[in-house]
Amino acid sequence: MAMIKTQAKKPAHPSFTIRSLSITTEDTKILDRIAQDASDYLGWTVSGSTVVRALLRQAGGQDSLWVREKLSPFIENEIQSGTVWGKKK
């Protein structure tokens, strides 16, 4: 009688949500450069989405003081540059 082989279950991947980002041509060049540098370093093809997720997780792991002191000045610069849609609360 032959034994039935069970297949190992693959680990569950997180679900993804597709989002659009509006970035300038210069920002695209920066994102492409970072992805290429990471690809060269890691030996894997790294996408822009991977870079954005890594940056989000890095920032998300910081406390609110870090966000206020380190990230908010850059966000404020973006708003003042006029490349942000929306309105002030």
How many Å apart are CA 37 and CA 48, to the nearest integer? 11
Q: Is 52 exposed, middle or buried (0-12, 13-18, 19+ CB in 10 A)?
A: middle
Q: What's the pLDDT score for residue 12?
A: 80
Q: What is the pTM of this model?
A: 0.74
pLDDT means over runs of 10, the chain (89 residues): 72 86 93 98 96 96 96 92 70
Tokens of residue 4, six digits: 């039935």
How many Å apart are CA 15 and CA 34, to the nearest integer? 25
**DSSP letter, residue 7:** P
One DSSP character per residue, 33-58 reads HHHHHHHHHHSS---HHHHHHHHHHH
Q: Where are the domains of the chain?
A: 25-81
